[in-house]
């Protein structure tokens, strides 16, 4: 899987609700239900759905290194 493959897959899901599992190490995992907002050259941004709307950004290499996992 290349960065271009990841960008194409994310581009197909812009505006969709997805679940991101962020591996923080030492068996700690954060889970977010988010909407994919924008794609940039090295990162993509998502917006959380909670009471407080929060924007988070992740790099495409986070997906390659399995730091985050996206469930569409």
Tokens of 67: 């730091």
pLDDT at res. 1: 86
Report whether pLDDT(9) > 80.
yes
- How many structural domains is the chain composed of? 1
Instruction: Confirm if 48 and 54 have CB atoms less than 8 A apart.
Output: yes
C-alpha triplet 58, 17, 62: angle, nearest 5°: 20
Domain with 29 in it: what CATH number?
Answer: 2.30.30.100
Hunting for tokens 């993509």 — which residue is that?
44
pTM: 0.89
Instruction: Tell me which residue range forms the domain holding 35.
Output: 3-71
Write the pLDDT tens digit of every residue in 27-66.
999 999 999 999 999 999 999 987 888 999 999 999 999 9
């Amino acid at each position: 899987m290349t960065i271009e493959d990841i960008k194409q897959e994310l581009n197909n899901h812009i505006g969709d609700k997805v679940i991101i599992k962020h591996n923080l190490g030492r068996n700690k995992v954060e889970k977010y239900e988010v909407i994919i907002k924008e794609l940039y050259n090295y990162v993509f941004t998502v917006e959380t759905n909670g009471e407080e709307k929060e924007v988070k950004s992740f790099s495409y290499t986070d997906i390659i290194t399995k730091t985050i996992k996206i469930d569409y």
